[in-house]
Amino acid sequence: MTFSLDARFAQFVLLRFALVLWLACFAIAEVRAGLPVAVDGQALPSLAPMVEATTPAVVNIATEGHVELRTNPLFNDPFFRRFFNFPKRSLQRKTQSLGSGVIVDAKRGLVLTNNHVIANADEITVNLRDGRNFKAELVGADPDTDVAVVRIPAENLTALKLADSEQLRIGDFVVAIGNPFGLGQTVTSGIVSALARSGLGITGYEDLIQTDASINPGNSGGALVNLRGELVGINTAIYSKSGGNIGIGFAIPVNMAQQIMEQLVEFGKVQRGFLGAQYQDLSPQLAEAFGLSKSNGALLVSVVAGSPAASAGLAPGDVVTHINDKTVTSAADLRTQIGLNRVGKQVTLQYLRNGKALRTKVEVGAHDAALAGNKLANKRLANTTIGEIPEDSSAYGRIAGVMVYAISRDSPAWHAGLRKGDLITSVNQRPTTSVAEFLAAVNAFNGQLLLSVHRGRQAAYIVIK
């Protein structure tokens, strides 16, 4: 049998078309089959199994509340109100917020979140991933660490296992889970960029985890987990000039959050630890002056008589370098580590005196008791805690006075306009440069109090009747 050139060409074209069609069908089958589940016998890595197990424990939190609008102290004067016909009730503004939280105790229905997520909330709603939602009860909140605990009904909940955040290392992989911008549950990944960040001004007591896992507004209170799905931190803040993520986020270590949670559940508030000493950073110049080779630690400037520090034998000039074998890097670090310990707990301090390394045990005292020293005899300042201006305050050394550490919303001082963080420089035109002077001035008067108050860059007089 013979073929002409045209016939052979036609046969070649048909065979090539059939081959192309067969290859196309094979390719379509491959596409439909998706990616292989393994390469060279090894399964492809995926965070999906861990994420599926952890996300039911991460919740969305929605709040509704109100805040009182700051007004001139004159508006609190009854004569001024009557003269200008101002209403007696204070001016208020409704607030709403969205954030995240983490179920950490399924049996008791406990949810960890940030204080700033639930601050000023009259109503807190917790939304679960499975579509259920509950009205939550506020167990307690600690603004100084930005930790809060709410409780929901313990109905078939999933809780995250808590890791030991002390075991975290720079470079460890972490995953952030939360509710950014109110979009719904979102998962991002990254690494631990740094540990023990402090001096940022985010919270009063800082020992933060830094991560490049994307954290955006609404992620606050959400979970930072390791690759085993264990909770290592509570996402709390971002560093950004635009308000969006730039790869610098911060989380509260779970060990710290757990300590705060236990106190909030037990007492409803945090009983802050107290050493009874003033201290400052050990600069290279100070280290050289004290004959030390390193500048890590906190230098004691003064020790209060009868305080835990004095009872332990500490003295001005001592340099505290470790607490329970954990390095003290700065004065702020010492304040944080002491403040987070329970009152009555015994801790071991390592310190340097004249270049010699020494150790001593200290029983942590009560911070609130130390602040007041004596009880306020004047009932106009009931439920108000006054203390010295702390060293980490921008007003320290610049304004002579005392600071309002805490104040109840139901107190006469609150209704007169006094707020947490205010600096009081005089009582009835009598200067008060220390807590002792403040107590003497306040307790000397049975009538109304005229306080000179500084708030930020503003100053005003407040009358408490």
Higher-pLDDT residue of 437, 42: 437
Q: Kindly state the average pLDDT of the residues 426-434.
A: 83
Lowest mean pLDDT among 232-246, 266-280, 389-403: 232-246
Residue 284 has pLDDT above 60, yes or no: yes
Higher-pLDDT residue of 411, 254: 254
Q: Kindly state the average pLDDT of the residues 436-442.
A: 77
Per-residue pLDDT at 261: 93
Q: E-strand spans in 202-314?
A: 208-211, 223-225, 231-238, 249-253, 273-274, 277-281, 298-303
Rounded to two decimals, the pTM is 0.65
Catalytically annotated residues: 116, 146, 220
Q: Kindly state the average pLDDT of the residues 422-426.
A: 90
Per-residue pLDDT at 31: 41
Residue 1 has pLDDT above 50, yes or no: no
Within the chain, which residue ranges are assigned CATH 2.40.10.10? 53-151, 165-267
Higher-pLDDT residue of 441, 26: 441
Q: Which residues pair with 210 in a beta bridge?
A: 194, 250
pLDDT band at 298 (very low <50, low <70, confident <90, very high): confident
Q: Which CATH superfamily is domain 165-267 in?
A: Trypsin-like serine proteases (2.40.10.10)
Q: What does the DSSP assignment read for 167-189? A: G--TT-EEEEEE-GGGS--EEEE
Lowest mean pLDDT among 12-21, 68-77, 158-167, 284-293: 12-21
Residue 18 has pLDDT above 70, yes or no: no
Q: Kindly state the average pLDDT of the residues 154-163.
A: 92
Residue 325 has pLDDT above 80, yes or no: yes
pLDDT band at 374 (very low <50, low <70, confident <90, very high): very low
Q: What does the DSSP assignment read for 251-264? A: EEEHHHHHHHHHHH
Question: What are the CA-CA distances from residue 191 to residues 100, 197, 399 (Å)?
Answer: 21, 15, 42
Distance between CA atoms of residues 174 and 167, nearest Å: 13
Tell me which fold the domain 273-367 belongs to. Answer: Pdz3 Domain (2.30.42)
pLDDT (tens digit per residue) in 33-57: 445 556 666 677 788 889 999 999 9
pLDDT band at 175 (very low <50, low <70, confident <90, very high): very high
Question: In terms of Cα–Cα distance, which of 432, 404, 402 is closest to 418?
Answer: 404
pLDDT (tens digit per residue) in 344-368: 888 999 998 888 889 999 988 776 5
Lowest mean pLDDT among 16-30, 147-161, 405-419: 16-30
Q: Which of 2-6, 107-111, 417-421, 426-430 has the highest mean pLDDT?
A: 107-111
Q: Which of 87-91, 93-97, 233-237, 285-289 has the highest mean pLDDT?
A: 233-237
Question: In terms of Cα–Cα distance, which of 353, 346, 274, 276 is closest to 321?
Answer: 353
Q: Residue 191: which residues within 8 A CB-CB, separation 6 or more?
A: 170, 171, 172, 173, 174, 211, 212, 213
Residue 386 has pLDDT above 70, yes or no: yes
Per-residue pLDDT at 215: 83
**CATH architecture, domain defined by 373-464:** Roll (2.30)
Structure tokens that stand for 215 in this block: 């954290």
Per-residue pLDDT at 73: 55
Q: What does the radius of gyration of the chain's CA atoms come to, in whole angstroms?
A: 30
Per-residue pLDDT at 264: 93
Q: Kindly state the average pLDDT of the residues 15-29.
A: 50
Q: Residue 264: which residues within 8 A CB-CB, separation 6 or more?
A: 139, 140, 141, 142, 147, 148, 149, 270
Backbone phi and psi for residue 186, each to the nearest 5 degrees, phi listed first: -135, 140
Residue 142 has pLDDT above 60, yes or no: yes
In the chain, the percentage of residues whose pLDDT exceeds 90 is 23
Lowest mean pLDDT among 26-40, 236-250, 292-306: 26-40
Per-residue pLDDT at 373: 46
Residue 249 has pLDDT above 80, yes or no: yes
Distance between CA atoms of residues 294 and 314, nearest Å: 20
Lowest mean pLDDT among 17-21, 116-120, 264-268: 17-21
Within the chain, which residue ranges are assigned CATH 2.30.42.10? 273-367, 373-464
Q: Which residues pair with 166 in a beta bridge?
A: none
Per-residue pLDDT at 171: 93
Q: Which residues pair with 138 in a beta bridge?
A: 150
Q: Kindly state the average pLDDT of the residues 377-403.
A: 76
Give the helix ranges, DSSP H, for 211-357.
254-267, 284-289, 308-311, 331-339
For tokens 């204070």, name the residue: 90
Distance between CA atoms of residues 381 and 407, nearest Å: 9
- Contact (CB, 8 A) for 108 and 266: no
Residue 23 has pLDDT above 90, yes or no: no
Question: In terms of Cα–Cα distance, which of 275, 323, 273, 331 is closest to 299?
Answer: 331
Average pLDDT, the chain: 79
Class of 53-151 in CATH: mainly beta
